[in-house]
Amino acid sequence: MTKPGEIVAGVIVGVLVGLAVLWLTVAPDNVSRAEMVSYVEATAIEHLRLLREDIRNVDESLDEVAQRLAAVEAVLSRER
């Protein structure tokens, strides 16, 4: 006949083994999710940096266009 202490010990061992198996199956997913979040964050930051640089270049180009337009307007107003 099984003693109550052995039953409790068996249940505890079973729960611990179940938790270990669960952890082994879920932990790799969590690591890959964490790595994916890190990758997405890094690439998003890089894309934002490139976008800011592109916006800066467009602003500089627009400033040059505005200066050229002002020069053309000045020339045209002198010719009138």
Spatial distance between the Cα atoms of 25 and 31, rounded to a whole number of angstroms? 11
Distance of CA 50 to the CA centre of its chain: 15
Predicted pLDDT of residue 1: 60
pLDDT of residue 33: 76
- On whether the pTM is more than 0.75, the answer is no
Residue 73: φ, ψ to 5°: -60, -40
Given this model, what pLDDT does residue 73 score? 94
Residue with tokens 């006949």: 1
The amino acid sitting at 69 is L
pLDDT reported for residue 36: 81
Q: What does the pLDDT look like over 22-57, one tens digit per residue?
A: 877 877 777 677 788 888 889 999 989 999 999 989
